[in-house]
Amino acid sequence: MKRLFTRLLLSLSIALVLLFASVGVFAAPNVTVISKKGEVPAADRILVKFKPDVSQSEKGKVHFQNNGQVIDVIPEIDVQVVKVKGKALEKAADYSRHPGVEFAEPDYIAHAVFIPSDVYFEKQWGMTKIQAPEAWDVTTGTKEVKIAILDTGIDQDHEDLAVKIVANADFTPSRTVDDKFGHGTHVAGIAAAATDNGKGVTGTGYQSSLMNVKVLGDDGSGYYSWVAKGIIWATINGARVINMSMGGSKPSKVLEKAINYAWNRGVVLVAAAGNDGSSAPFYPAFYSNCIAVGATDENDSRASFSNYGPWVDIAAPGQNVFSTTPNHDNYIHNYGIAFNYDYLSGTSMASPHVAGIAALVWAKYPQLDNSKVRKKIEEGVDPAIGFDPPIGRANAYKALQQK
């Protein structure tokens, strides 16, 4: 294993010199952070859940009275996606006043979690920081453990990812499951890029498989309902771990129900804590059945952009993290990103480190339930600096050693 890691470091060093001779940025400076975008609800969409005893005819009357049209459903949690005329907040309030409606809320928009960056680095530091090589001496994971990447898609023929993708699903209007934005491909590489293949980068989950669940469109944003449907689909189709490097600042009962649906069926859910540098809640990471992940730098200090607070569970490397990027034209490439690999920053990059660790723990301890897997991850940590209240920085090796 030590020889393997030496070869990996050597190949990585060569790749860095050859591929990253320009500044890598994750998005244009005028792209706002997702929690700020997420404050704006969809203009003409709301999510409605009726009480169990309400008949179909009564539901139809309520929609007719409110000039609403059902355009989609999420049957597993009995929620309807309704197109309305007028302001979504006002229409949701109108629906909520009916005694047969359990709740109604705007279909908020989630965005990929990232921040601009123009800093060069000469090495991939995150894997060493979380002691991934030592963890791989214990287990290199298994392809039977699937990590679902709920994001903008994954590059379908990337040299470091194609062999890892075992399923694709698209809940957006995009014409392809491929990644035309660039965010999902970077996240996927951190979680489980092909390792020991003589190419590119290593992935935390090593042998783990990837499920590409496209819930954010080609512009990097998507409705909460798309995310909820993606969570449920991934759960039904065998994901053991779900990574969500996106979100918004508004709570959603529908999103929380989808989270609980997956958790109650044994899935470990990991989500980015957001990049506002505040303690304000950020969703879905804020929900108790998600592991909320903040970001640290090379010194184990909280990255200046990372959210914090009592709802943030753990931290992981998130500043200037080196991983896979699409091998074709994509949105973020227009702002300086090299094809195939580059450095990006954000809690988006921190979250898949933890998702990969979860996959390793599942591989080592397949008999555990998700609460015990989560416990091992959250207790097997190193100190992190600058979080209030204090939390630990993820350590893959320690997580595997926890009793």
> So which residues are the catalytic ones?
151, 183, 348
Q: Which of 382, 287, 295, 278 is nearest to 344 (CA)?
A: 295
Burial of 56 (0-12, 13-18, 19+ CB in 10 A): exposed
Task: Report the Cα 150 to chain-centroid distance in Å.
Answer: 6
Query: Amino acid identity of 100?
Result: G
**What is the chain's Cα-based Rg?**
20
Task: Report the Cα 383 to chain-centroid distance in Å.
Answer: 23
8's enclosing H/E stretch is helix 2-19
- CA-angle at 108, arms to 104 and 113, nearest 5°: 150
The Cα 242–Cα 268 span in angstroms is 6
The Cα 312–Cα 77 span in angstroms is 26
The Cα 402–Cα 135 span in angstroms is 12
- CA-angle at 348, arms to 346 and 351, nearest 5°: 120
The Cα 263–Cα 240 span in angstroms is 10
118's enclosing H/E stretch is none
The Cα 267–Cα 403 span in angstroms is 20
Task: Work out the number of other CB atoms within 10 angstroms of the CB of residue 114.
Answer: 29
The Cα 301–Cα 285 span in angstroms is 20
Task: Work out the number of other CB atoms within 10 angstroms of the CB of residue 18.
Answer: 10
129's enclosing H/E stretch is helix 126-129
Residue 250 DSSP SS3: coil
Query: Amino acid identity of 176?
Result: T
For 342, the token pair is 């580059």
